[in-house]
Every structure is written in structure tokens, then in C-alpha cells.
Amino acid sequence: TTTGATVLVPIEGNPYSILFWRNFIQWLGGMGIIVLVVAILPALGAGGMQLFKSEVPGPEPDRLKPRIKETAKLLWAVYILFSVLQVACLYFTGMSLFDALTHMFGTMPTGGFTPRNLSVGAYDNPVFENIIIIFMFIAGANFTLHYKALHGNLKSLFKDKEFLFYSGVILFSILAIATELRFYIYNSIFTALRYASFQVVSIATTTGFVTADYDTWPAFSKSVLLILMFIGGCAGSTGGAIKNIRVLLLLKQVYREFRKLIHPQAVTPIRLGDKVVSEDVMRNITGFFFLYIFIFIISSFVMTILGLDIVSAMASVAATLGNVGPGLGLVGPVQTYAFIPPLGKIVLTLCMLLGRL
């Protein structure tokens, strides 16, 4: 499910074959999501198209080719291309081939598994971190846009409202957290930006890599990261959670309802770019949102019954339902899920599956 929540303690004590396999199946999972979205779901007929529109919400799902199978192949090619590029970048800047491969397996599907106990923070290498930030950001965006950009249509990135919203959320979060970290933890703004940038992109794309124990950060920074766990990546990406396009359209709906209070007779359609979003789509998005929150509340309640404190319970559910991995409290970035009781592991496993499906 590309969640990255682990029960292995310690990670580095396991055979290379196990470490390779647990990372490789993330990469397959990421490719599987792309295939599911553009190939399998529409092929199921009317019911499949409804699922397709749920996974890629908006005015009309974008296809690159008339045939769904051709679209899937093109997106596979983009996925593999970026995977090869990341391995090359990491390897030629000094990372071992095995580590470069396994970290790519954790980056492109926004999975977050790593062969190191301290995740990417084990290297303490800004070059590695910046490379991984770039590819996490790519993995969290719509792969259809990547295909268009690679074929010279860079304008499609800047015309896409979801991509602009996704980029804006990440930029604002980095600046907000870096500012707080500069005043409360780090003496240098550059150090604050380094750790804030990596952690924000990691959580916003639901990857789950860590370079710092953000559970020790001030409350505001942790709150921002928790919100990012709910927003997640873009539609058509390998990222999880609610997705940026749904959040954007929900915000537009909230604005419309407030406007109706002032102008009750006004008819204000919700637009995404130059397209009008139908009321059926808005109902589906609203229904999805409330179902997501309902599952989050019920699952968090169950986890508290099983003995977790409220912060750890809510964070564990947010991190698994959003396919992020590390959370806060007892399931923080330097912790694992190994201590969770068996019934709790079943609940969180279901959250991972529900969050991905």
C-alpha cells in the first residue's frame, strides 16, 4: 500500500534480500496504483468508471491516449524513467548502489521504507536529501502532467490548478515551519530550511522518509505536518490521503456556501480552471471526505481503547489511512509500530488498505 509503517526492529539487522524485497514491493505498489487508476478501473464498465472518477476527481479525468491501455503504458514509462534517473543521481553522488536502489523504491511510490534505522537521516548528507526531495515532489504530482512536461508542454504544469495548489501548500508549510524552527531549535535559517523542506515534502507526498525527529519540534510545526498527512499528494500520483484536488474543491465549496449567506439568490458554479465541476462530482467528493473522517474517528477511538494515548492513536490512524508511515507520539519518526497490540495492528492494516483503495 506504499505506507511505510514498519514493525522491523532493528531494520539494519535483516538480510539484504529482506530489505530489498520490502522496498521493491513498494515500487510495485506505486506502479500498481497508476495501472489501477488508468487501466483497470475504467475497464470494469460503469462501476469501474465511478471508481476511476473517485480516484481522479475533477471535471473530467484526463487521458493521454484514446485507449486506456496505451495511457497506462505511457505512465509506466514515465514512472520507470524517473526511477532510473533517481538511482543514477544518488549513485553518482556517492550512495552505494544497493542503498540508491532501495531509496528509489521508497521514493517513487511515496512509500518511505529505507534500509537504515534512521531513515535518510542516517547519511546526514544534504546532497542526498535534496535529490530525494526533488523526486518525492515529482512522485506526489500527477503523472499525466509529467508526461506532458517531458514532451515539451511545460505550460501544462502551470495551468493545472491542483499542481499550483499542491506546490503552494508545500511552499507555505516549509516557510511556516522553518520560521518556527529558526526561533525555537536551530541557530541558522539554512539549517531550519533544510530540515523543514525535507520533512514537509516527505509528509505532504505521504512518503514518510525522515531526517529529523520532528516529534520533538514545537506544537505548531507538528500541527502543520499532521494537516499535511490528511491532504496528501495529487490525483493521478502515487501519493495517498485525501488528495489536493479534493481539498481544493472542498475549499471552493465552503467559499460558495459563505457567499450564499450574503447573496442567497446567487448561482455560483464551482470551477476548476476553465471547467465547471458538476454537482454530482461535488457530492462524491463531499461524501468521500466525510467517509474518510468517519473512518479516522472510529479507528482512533478503537486505538485509544487498546491503550494508546490520544495523540499516538490519532497520529497512527492518520499516518496509516493516509499511507504516510511515521506519525507522532509513540509512532513518531524514530519509533516503529512493533509495540502495537495484535488487534491494533489489524485495525491499522485495514486503515492502510482502505486508505489506498
pLDDT per residue as tens digits for the range 130-186: 999 999 999 999 888 888 898 888 888 888 899 999 999 999 999 999 999 999 999
Distance (Å, rounded) from C-alpha 6 to C-alpha 335?
Answer: 9
Whether 225 and 212 have beta carbons less than 8 Å apart is answered as no
CB burial of 70-109 (b: ≥16 within 10 Å; e: otherwise) equals ebbebbbebbeebbebbbebbbeeebeeebbbbbbbbbbb
C-alpha cell at 220: 505548531
pLDDT per residue as tens digits for the range 81-137: 999 999 999 999 999 999 999 999 999 999 999 999 999 999 999 999 999 999 999
Per-domain residue ranges for the chain? 16-356
Query: What separation in angstroms does the CA of 207 have from each of 4, 287, 336?
Result: 8, 26, 15
